[in-house]
Amino acid sequence: MLATGGTIAGQAGDASKTAGYKAGVVGVDKLLEAVPALSSVARIHAEQFASIDSKDMSAALWTALSRRIDTLLAQDDIDGVVVTHGTDTLEETAYLLHLTVKRAKPVVLTAAMRPSTALSADGPLNLLNAVSVAASQDAAGKGVLVAFNNQIHSARDVAKTSTYAVDAFRAPETGALGFVQDGRVEFQRTVVRPHTVASEFSVTDEWPMVEIVTSHADASRVTVDALVAAGARGIVVAGTGNGSMHATLTHALADAVKKGVAVVRSSRVGSGHVMRNGAASDDALGTISAGTLNPYKARVLLMLALASGAQDLQRIFDTY
C-alpha cells in the first residue's frame, strides 16, 4: 500500500464536519488500524509515499510513483498494489499509471470523500474494498483500477463527478467494470484499449509543457498566445459541446499549430465523445480529437505522447 494523502487521510476538529478539514495529514498506519478486517484479506506492507492534497499532485511525483509501483510489483512476494489518493486528481494519476506501469499485477487506487475523522467516513470501507480487489486474481491484466463506493472502474474511463457525494466517481460513457461488496469481487465488463504491459509509454524526468484552455462565451486569444510564447508543446482545449471552439480561440490555436504546438480538442461537457472533423475541421486546422477522454486525461495522454517523441498523435488518441 502506497499512501499519498488526500481526504482519506484527512482530519477535522469536529466529527460532524465533512468540509473544512485538512487533507493528507493522517499516516498510513492509522488508516490501516481503522480497518482490522484487512488482516484477513492480505498481508500488507505500507509506505507513506507522500502526504499531499491531490490538487497539488505534480508530474515529478507521478514519475516517482509509477517507478515505485514497478519496482514493488517486480517482487515475487508482492501480488498487487493499492494507492490511497485524494479524489481531486485521482482520475489523472490513475490514467497516468494505467499507461506507464509495466506489470500485469493489480494496481488499485482508492480515496474518500469524507475525512477519516468524520461520522460515516467512507475511507475505511473503500480501503478494505481496494485491498480485496488488489488481492483478487480476476483483477490482474485489467490495467489500473479504481475501487470506490463498492464499484470497480477502469482508470481510463473514470472521473470525479460530484463535489461532495460519496458516490463521486463514475465512468460516464462506459459504466463501472464491476463491483466489490463484502469481500466479493465481480467483474462484469473488460478493458479493451491497451494499457500497462501493452502501452508504448513511460514516465520521464523531463515532461513537456502541456496546458488546458477552455472555450467559453467571449473567449479571447490571450491565454493561447501566452502559452505559445512560454514554450508550451501541447494545448488541450476543453471545448464546448463536441469540442467546438470560439472563433477567436480557433484562430489562435490554428496559429499555435503552425508554430509546432500540438492541439487536442476535448470537451468541457463531462460525457460523450469528441469526433474527428465533427465540430471543427481537424484536417484543416491540424488539430487532434480526444474521443472520450476528458480534458484532464487528454492532457495526460498528450504529455506521454510528446515525451515519447510520437508524431502520429491522432493514432495515439484513437488507440488509448
- In angstroms, how far is CA 311 from the centroid of its own chain? 24
| Amino acid identity for residue 149 in this structure | N
Inter-residue contact 99 to 201 (CB < 8 Å):
yes
Helix (H, G, I), strand (E, B) or coil at 251: helix
196 included as an active-site residue: no
Say how far apart CA 79 and CA 139 lie, in whole Å. 11
**Among residues 3, 194, 22, 245, which one has the least CA distance to residue 116?**
22
Q: Is 154 annotated as a binding residue?
A: no
Choosing from 1, 2, 3, 6, the residue that interacts with ligand SIN (CB under 6 A) is: 6
Min dist CB 285 to ligand SIN, Å, is: 35
Min dist CB 85 to ligand SIN, Å, is: 7
Question: Can residue 122 be called a binding residue for ligand SIN (CB under 6 A)?
Answer: no
Choosing from 3, 72, 88, 199, the residue that interacts with ligand SIN (CB under 6 A) is: 88
Residues 21-50, mask of contacts with ligand SIN (x by CB under 6 A): --x---------------------------
Q: Is 318 annotated as a binding residue?
A: no
Question: Can residue 91 be called a binding residue for ligand SIN (CB under 6 A)?
Answer: no
Question: Can residue 116 be called a binding residue for ligand SIN (CB under 6 A)?
Answer: no
**Among residues 171, 183, 106, 110, which one has the least CA distance to residue 142?**
106
Exposed / middle / buried, residue 203 (Cβ in 10 Å: 0-12, 13-18, 19+): buried
7 included as an active-site residue: yes
Residues 48-87, mask of contacts with ligand SIN (x by CB under 6 A): -----xxx------------------------------xx
Helix ranges (H only) for 142-230 are: 222-229
DSSP 196: G
Question: Can residue 149 be called a binding residue for ligand SIN (CB under 6 A)?
Answer: no
The residues with which 47 forms a beta bridge, in sequence order, are 2
Interacting residues with ligand SIN (CB under 6 A) = 5-7, 23, 53-55, 86-88, 111, 113
Residues forming the annotated binding site for substrate?
54, 87-88
